[in-house]
Amino acid sequence: MTTDTTITEVVLPGVVEPDGLLLHRRAMPVPARGQALVQVEATGISFAEQQMRHALYPGQPKFPFVPGYDLVGTVRAVGPGGDDTLVGTRVAAVTKTGAWATHALVDIDALTPVPVGLDPAAAETVVVNGVTAWQMLRDADLKAGQTILVHGANGGVGSVLVQLGRHLGLRVIGTAAARHHAGLRELGVEPLDYRDPDMAARVRELSPGGVDAVFDPVAGPGVRTSYALLAPGGKLVVYGNAAAVGTGQSVVWVFVKLLARLYTWNTLPNGHRAGFYNFWAGQLTRRAAFRRRLRTDLGIVLDLLRQGVIVPQIAARYPLSEVSAALVFAENRSRAGKVVLEP
């Protein structure tokens, strides 16, 4: 049982600049039945929180709220009827919001054990990002020797995706700014500059028959190019809509147009497949099955991290008190990997 009496949390009060984030102290929450109180040791800054700051993330809570998509920490208490043996164990969880705090209440069935000996910050880099990469690769049904193109290969998801791809025996071409190319080569990636106007031609030079899958987190005008680069039977996987930020258009409308385009492409008789990866698919209609799948997949990814198959890509570490500076750093995208907050 924790002896602390208060917690500190980061509050997003509205559409504000990073320095508009607030640090708030309140009484220690008490877990209800089915909940655990987790002392947060690491949480991350993802693109989702960057969208939430602009009120652009679909389904985000009303302001004010505490951001924080995922966490790694230690269970300090469980609610009535809970398993007391959980207290003192290190766990990981996807929260969607609420993790930017020293302590968080989490549903017990959302907790996944973290292997002993893993650095919490290292484990944090693969909670959402690793599950996303693992599920996308598995669902793409690829075989060793095939070629994939990963846009944003230096990002939080991209950096895990390329490592898992190499582990599965895939040839990986990755796009990123030139400053990240040396690091990508160390991961076994063939890097290309995403700003190169001849990028598509470069891909065709490397893989004249096309690529077997493209993973695209941007979903802007370049999604047509991604689709055109597919080999016969290839698959386009879109898993974000970064291009919508700053356009002034409704994110929902941009998303609807994207889905319509993907659906139309799937009706063409060329053998190509195109789809949008949704991390939360099934969460509302099949909650128990969704959480079982999430715990299983996160357990697999954490074990791959333990084995050294995945090398954690930590862009920077910040204390919770410096969250504004951390958010600025994350949004500048100057270093590969994930920015981690360590409450």
Q: What gap in Å lies between CA 102 and CA 100, rounded to an integer?
A: 7
Q: Tens digit of pLDDT for each residue in 208-219?
A: 999 999 999 987
pLDDT at 323 over 90: yes
Question: pLDDT over 70 for what percent of the chain?
Answer: 96
What integer pLDDT is reported at residue 258 of this predicted model? Answer: 86
Terminus-to-terminus CA distance in the chain, angstroms? Answer: 18
Phi, psi of 280 (to 5 degrees): -95, 10
Q: What gap in Å lies between CA 94 and CA 299, rounded to an integer?
A: 13
Tell me, what DSSP letter sits at residue 17? -
pTM: 0.93
Q: Tens digit of pLDDT for each residue in 93-151?
A: 999 999 999 999 999 999 999 999 999 999 999 999 999 999 999 999 999 999 999 99
Pair 87, 77: CB distance under 8 Å: yes
Kindly report the number of other CB atoms within 10 A of residue 233's CB atom: 12
H-assigned helices in the chain: 47-53, 120-124, 128-140, 156-167, 181-186, 199-206, 223-228, 251-266, 287-307, 323-332
As a whole number, mean pLDDT of residues 24-51 equals 96
Q: How confident is the model at residue 4 (pLDDT cuts 50, 70, 90)?
A: confident
Q: How confident is the model at residue 240 (pLDDT cuts 50, 70, 90)?
A: confident
Say which residue the tokens 């049904």 belong to: 141
Q: What gap in Å lies between CA 149 and CA 236, rounded to an integer?
A: 10
Q: What gap in Å lies between CA 148 and CA 320, rounded to an integer?
A: 37
Q: How confident is the model at residue 227 (pLDDT cuts 50, 70, 90)?
A: very high
What integer pLDDT is reported at residue 250 of this predicted model? Answer: 62
pLDDT at 248 over 70: no
Q: What gap in Å lies between CA 73 and CA 120, rounded to an integer?
A: 7
Pair 155, 184: CB distance under 8 Å: no
What integer pLDDT is reported at residue 1 of this predicted model? Answer: 52
Q: How confident is the model at residue 33 (pLDDT cuts 50, 70, 90)?
A: very high
Q: Tens digit of pLDDT for each residue in 38-51?
A: 999 999 999 899 88
Pair 82, 34: CB distance under 8 Å: yes
- Axis-axis angle for helices 156-167, 128-140 (nearest 10): 50
Q: How many residues are present in the chain?
A: 343
What integer pLDDT is reported at residue 244 of this predicted model? Answer: 57
Pair 330, 313: CB distance under 8 Å: no
Q: Average pLDDT, whole number, for the chain?
A: 94
Q: What gap in Å lies between CA 48 and CA 242, rounded to an integer?
A: 10
As a whole number, mean pLDDT of residues 177-195 equals 95
What integer pLDDT is reported at residue 304 of this predicted model? Answer: 98
